[in-house]
C-alpha cells in the first residue's frame, strides 16, 4: 500500500505550492489569494526514496458552521482520516495565529504522525523563525520553503521513514491499455460536481449551490463494473465577456487542458435553463479538440412533459452538429440514468481507439466515390485513390490522391459521415486528411505551383512553349545568316 501524505494548514500558507513541488507538476492552482483550493487534490509524489501519494487540501477552518468554508473543512477532515502522515504547514513570516492553535488541537487527536513545517523561511534565520511554533505542541518545527525547495526533501523523508518501501505498479484498464480519462465539463452550476459524487458514491468534491464552486481540475480514480477510469471534475466555463477575475481565467485554462487530456468528455447541460449559446460553444471546442463525447442533460426530473419536448427541439436546433454523440437525460442528484451514461462512455472510448484496416477503408472510399464523386474544382476533378488510418482519439483517415487541395469541405464531411456510419463509430468524431500524390517523372516546370489553378498552369505552360519556340526560331535565323 502506497503511503499517503496530507498537507494541512490555514488558507494561503503555501500548501498548493508545496503540492506542485512534490509532484513536479502545475496541477494545483497557485495565487496570492486565500481559499483558492477547495477540493482534495491527489498526486503522485516524485523524488523521494519510495513512491507515495500527496494530498492538497483547502484552507482549514475548524469551527465554520455554514457556507462554502464548512464544505472545505469537511473535505480536509476526510483527507485527514485517509492520511498515513500529515504535514502541517504554518506561515513563518506571520507567526503563530489562533487558527494555527485550533488546527494543532484537532491534529493532536488524529492517529497518524504529524510533522510541523514552518514555510516561507527563505532568507531568514531558521532557528529564530521556528522558535515561536514550539507552543503548538507538535514536536520540533522544521523550516522549509515550498517555493524554493529548501528543506522539502528532508521533511518528506521524515514522513516516509516509518513505512516499508513498496513497488509502484502502474494500473491498466480493462483493455490492457491506459486508464480512460473522462472529463466532465459544462457551464457553472449545471451539476458537474454532483455528477462526480453520484458516480463515486461519496462526497468527493464540493457540490454547492453557487456558481464557481469548483476552481481547479480534480483528477479522481474510479472503479466501476470491474473497469478503471480517471474522472476529471472541471470548473464551469462562462462566456469570455463575463470572466473578470484572474483566478477564473486560470480555471478556464485548466478546463481546456482537461479537455485536451481526456479521452472522453461528458458535456453536462442544465435542462431547467435550456440549451444556451455557451453550451454550444463548449461543445464546439470539444469537437475541435477531437474528443469522444457523451452529452448529459441534467436535472431532467424537474421538468414537465411539455418542457421536455421543448428541450429536445432545442437540442435538435442548437446541437445538431453533435449528431455522432449519445444524449442521456439524467438526474445527478437522484442518481437516475447514470448506468446508461457510462455505457455510452465505454462505447465512445472504444470507438475513439478503433483500429481501421487499410483494405476496408479503401473499399469504403471506392463505394463512396461510386455513390458521389467529388465536385470539380478549378477545372479539374480531384482523384482519390486509397485510404489508411493515420491516428486515434479521434480516428484519422488519410486519403491519398491527386489534386486533393480542391476537395470541398462539404465533400469531406460526407466522407467523414460515411466512414463513421460504416464502421459504427458511435460517440467520437472522425477526421479525414488528404495527402497529395507525387509524380516522380514530372518535370519541375510541369508541376502546379502552390495556389495555382489548372487554367493558370496551362497558360504558364503555353507561354513557356511560345518563348521556347521563339528562341529556337531566332537561333535558326542566326544559323542561316552565318551560312550566307
Quick: pLDDT tens for 72-125: 777 778 888 888 899 999 998 888 888 889 888 888 888 888 999 999 888 888
**What are the respective helix, strand and coil percentages of the chain, to the nearest 5?**
40, 20, 40
Strand-pair category, 52-56 with 4-8: parallel
Residue 462 labeled ligand binder: no
Alpha carbon distance 248, 121 (integer Å): 30
Residue 11 labeled ligand binder: yes
Residue 347 labeled ligand binder: no
Apex CA 35: angle with CA 31 and CA 36, to 5°? 40
Share of the chain above pLDDT 90, in %: 29
Residue 439 labeled ligand binder: no
Residues 6 or more apart whose Cβ sits within 8 Å of residue 131 = none
Residue 64 labeled ligand binder: no
Residue 8: phi and psi, rounded to 5, are -130, 145
Helices and strands: H and E segment counts in the chain: 13, 15
Residue 121 labeled ligand binder: yes
pLDDT value at 216 more than 70: no
pLDDT class for 244, splitting at 50, 70, 90? very low
Listed range (27-41, 147-161, 382-396, 461-475) with the worst mean pLDDT = 27-41
Residue 236 labeled ligand binder: yes
Per-residue confidence (pLDDT) for residue 28, from 0 to 100: 67
Give the domains, in start order, of the chain with CATH numbers.
Answer: 4-160 (3.40.50.300), 181-351 (3.40.50.300), 358-436 (3.30.300.20)
How many angstroms separate the most distant Cα atoms in the chain? 120
Residue 113 labeled ligand binder: no
Residue 221 labeled ligand binder: no
Alpha carbon distance 218, 223 (integer Å): 16
Residue 4 labeled ligand binder: no
Residue 263 labeled ligand binder: no
Per-residue confidence (pLDDT) for residue 243, from 0 to 100: 47
Residue 59 labeled ligand binder: yes
Strand partners, 384: 401
Residue 344 labeled ligand binder: no
Residue 43 labeled ligand binder: no
Residues 6 or more apart whose Cβ sits within 8 Å of residue 105 = none
In this prediction, residues 365-382 reach a mean pLDDT of 90
Residue 471 labeled ligand binder: no
Is the omega angle on the peptide bond into residue 56 within 30 degrees of 0, that is, cis? no
170 — alpha (psi -120 to 50), left (phi > 0) or beta? beta
pLDDT value at 126 more than 70: yes
Residue 197 labeled ligand binder: no
Alpha carbon distance 423, 364 (integer Å): 9
* Cell digits of residue 310: 421543448
pLDDT value at 3 more than 90: no
Residue 60 labeled ligand binder: yes
Per-residue confidence (pLDDT) for residue 209, from 0 to 100: 54
Residue 119 labeled ligand binder: yes
**Mean pLDDT value across the chain:** 83
Residue 390 labeled ligand binder: no
Encode burial over 437-448: b for 16+ CB neighbours within 10 A, e otherwise. Answer: eeeeeeeeeeeb
Residue 466: phi and psi, rounded to 5, are -65, -40
Alpha carbon distance 264, 258 (integer Å): 10
Q: Is 257 exposed, middle or buried (0-12, 13-18, 19+ CB in 10 A)?
A: middle
Alpha carbon distance 257, 195 (integer Å): 20
Residue 234 labeled ligand binder: yes
* Cell digits of residue 464: 513557356
Residues 6 or more apart whose Cβ sits within 8 Å of residue 215 = 29, 36, 37, 38, 235, 247, 248, 251
pLDDT class for 373, splitting at 50, 70, 90? very high
Are the C-beta atoms of residues 42 and 63 closer than 8 Å to each other? no
Per-residue confidence (pLDDT) for residue 416, from 0 to 100: 93
Listed range (102-116, 151-165, 215-229, 327-341) with the worst mean pLDDT = 215-229
Residue 235 labeled ligand binder: yes
Residue 57 labeled ligand binder: yes
Listed range (21-35, 215-229, 258-272) with the worst mean pLDDT = 21-35
The residue to which cell 492517529 is assigned? 111
Residue 193 labeled ligand binder: yes
The more confidently predicted of residues 178 and 469 is 469
Residues 6 or more apart whose Cβ sits within 8 Å of residue 309 = none
Residue 312 labeled ligand binder: no
Give how far Cα 429 sits from Cα of 326, 413, 434, Å: 12, 11, 17
Residue 133 labeled ligand binder: no
Residue 9 labeled ligand binder: yes
The more confidently predicted of residues 73 and 32 is 73
Amino acid at each position: 500500500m502506497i503511503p499517503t501524505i496530507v498537507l494541512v494548514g490555514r488558507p494561503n500558507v503555501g500548501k498548493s505550492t508545496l503540492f506542485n513541488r512534490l509532484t513536479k507538476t502545475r496541477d494545483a492552482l497557485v495565487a496570492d489569494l486565500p481559499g483558492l483550493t477547495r477540493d482534495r487534490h491527489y498526486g503522485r509524489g516524485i523524488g523521494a526514496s519510495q513512491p507515495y501519494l500527496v494530498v492538497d487540501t483547502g484552507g482549514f477552518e475548524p469551527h465554520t458552521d455554514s457556507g462554502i468554508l464548512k464544505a472545505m473543512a469537511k473535505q480536509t477532515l476526510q483527507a485527514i482520516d485517509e492520511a498515513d502522515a500529515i504535514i502541517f504547514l504554518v506561515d513563518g513570516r506571520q507567526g503563530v495565529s489562533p487558527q494555527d492553535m485550533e488546527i494543532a488541537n484537532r491534529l493532536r487527536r488524529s492517529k497518524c504522525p504529524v510533522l510541523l513545517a514552518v514555510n516561507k523561511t527563505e532568507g531568514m534565520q531558521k532557528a529564530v523563525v521556528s522558535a515561536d511554533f514550539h507552543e503548538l505542541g507538535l514536536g520540533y518545527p522544521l523550516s522549509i520553503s515550498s517555493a524554493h525547495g529548501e528543506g522539502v526533501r528532508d521533511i518528506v523523508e521524515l514522513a516516509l521513514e516509518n513505512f516499508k518501501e513498496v513497488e509502484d505498479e502502474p494500473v491498466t484498464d480493462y483493455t490492457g491499455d491506459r486508464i480512460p480519462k473522462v472529463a466532465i465539463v459544462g457551464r457553472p452550476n449545471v451539476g458537474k460536481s454532483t455528477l462526480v459524487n453520484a458516480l463515486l458514491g461519496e462526497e468527493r468534491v464540493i457540490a454547492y449551490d453557487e456558481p464557481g464552486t469548483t476552481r481547479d481540475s480534480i483528477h479522481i480514480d474510479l472503479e466501476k463494473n470491474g473497469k478503471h477510469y480517471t474522472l476529471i471534475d472541471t470548473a464551469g466555463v462562462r462566456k469570455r465577456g463575463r470572466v473578470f477575475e484572474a483566478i477564473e481565467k486560470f480555471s478556464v485554462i485548466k478546463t481546456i487542458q482537461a479537455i485536451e487530456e481526456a479521452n472522453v468528455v461528458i458535456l453536462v447541460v442544465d435542462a431547467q435553463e435550456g440549451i444556451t449559446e455557451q453550451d454550444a460553444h463548449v461543445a464546439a471546442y470539444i469537437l475541435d479538440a477531437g474528443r469522444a463525447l457523451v452529452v448529459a442533460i441534467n436535472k431532467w426530473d424537474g421538468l414537465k412533459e411539455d418542457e421536455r419536448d421543448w428541450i429536445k427541439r432545442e437540442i435538435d436546433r442548437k446541437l445538431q452538429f453533435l449528431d455522432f454523440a449519445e444524449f442521456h437525460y439524467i438526474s445527478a442528484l437522484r442518481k437516475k440514468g447514470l448506468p446508461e451514461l457510462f455505457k455510452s462512455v465505454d462505447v465512445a472510448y472504444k470507438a475513439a481507439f478503433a483500429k481501421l484496416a487499410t483494405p476496408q477503408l479503401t473499399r469504403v472510399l471506392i463505394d463512396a466515390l461510386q455513390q458521389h464523386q467529388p465536385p470539380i474544382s478549378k477545372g479539374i476533378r480531384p482523384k482519390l485513390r486509397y485510404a489508411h488510418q493515420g491516428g486515434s482519439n479521434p480516428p484519422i483517415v488519410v486519403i491519398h490522391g491527386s489534386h486533393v487541395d480542391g476537395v470541398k469541405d462539404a465533400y469531406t464531411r460526407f466522407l467523414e459521415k460515411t466512414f463513421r456510419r460504416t464502421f459504427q463509430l458511435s460517440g467520437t468524431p472522425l477526421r479525414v486528411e488528404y495527402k497529395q500524390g507525387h509524380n516522380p517523372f514530372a518535370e519541375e516546370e510541369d508541376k502546379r505551383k502552390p495556389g495555382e489553378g489548372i487554367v493558370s498552369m496551362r497558360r504558364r505552360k503555353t507561354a513557356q512553349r511560345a518563348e521556347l519556340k521563339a528562341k529556337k526560331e531566332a537561333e535558326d535565323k542566326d544559323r542561316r545568316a552565318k551560312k550566307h
